[in-house]
Amino acid sequence: MKTIRQSVFETNSSSCHSFSITNERKFDPKRYPRIRVSGSGEYGWSGPDVETPDDHLDYALVAGKYIFGEGLRDKLPAIQEYFEEHGVIVDFDFNGEPSGYIDHQSGPSEDEDSRSIGNLLDDPEELFNFVFSGSVISMGNDN
C-alpha cells in the first residue's frame, strides 16, 4: 500500500524513499562544467538526501541499471552529447554497469517514481532538467 501526498511518495516498507520531484531549476549548469559519476550510490535504508546534480545523475544511473541492464551503456553517448551541447561534460566512471543499489522496496521494480527516474536515461533533455532541478529523494526507515 502507498499513500500519495502532494509532491511526496512513501512506500509501506521498513525502508522508505520519499520523492519530491520538481521541474523548477535549482542549479545553474554553468556552475557544473564537469560532472563525474560512478553509479556507485547506495540508496538503501538511510543516507544523505539525493539533491545535487551529481547525486541526481548517480541515482538515475543506478535506477537505469535495474531497468536497462547491459543496454544502459548504449544510452550513455546520447546523454554525454546532450549535456556537452549545454556546457556540461559528463564522465561516466565505471566499467561494465554501475555497482550501486536501490533498496528492493524503493527500486524500479517496485516503485513508479524510481522507475520514472531511471527511464529519464531514454530522454537526455528530461534527464538534464532533472539533474539541475530542485528535486530531492530522502531515504529513511521505520526501525
- Residue among 105, 121, 129, 122 nearest 27 (CA): 129
Can you give the pLDDT at residue 86? Answer: 97
Give whole-number Cα distances, 87 to 28, 82, 104, 134, 141, in Å. Answer: 11, 9, 35, 19, 38
Tens-place pLDDT, residues 8-56: 544 445 556 677 888 899 999 999 999 999 999 888 877 888 999 999 9
pLDDT band at 97 (very low <50, low <70, confident <90, very high): confident
* pLDDT beyond 50 at 2: no
Can you give the pLDDT at residue 32? Answer: 96
d(CA 127, CA 82): 10
pLDDT, greater one: 101 or 106:
101
Q: How do the domains of the chain map onto residue ranges?
A: 26-42+51-134
pLDDT band at 7 (very low <50, low <70, confident <90, very high): low
Tens-place pLDDT, residues 45-95: 778 889 999 999 999 999 999 899 889 999 999 999 999 999 999 999 988
Tens-place pLDDT, residues 103-139: 866 666 666 777 888 899 999 999 999 999 999 988 8
The three-state DSSP-derived secondary structure of the chain is: CCEEECCEEECCCCEEEEEECCCCECCCHHHCCEEEECCCCEECCCCCCECCHHHHHHHHHHHHHHHHHHHHHHHHHHHHHHHHHCCCEEEECCCCCCCCEECCCCCCCCCHHHHHHHHHHHCHHHHHHHHCECCEEEEEECC
Can you give the pLDDT at residue 111? Answer: 64
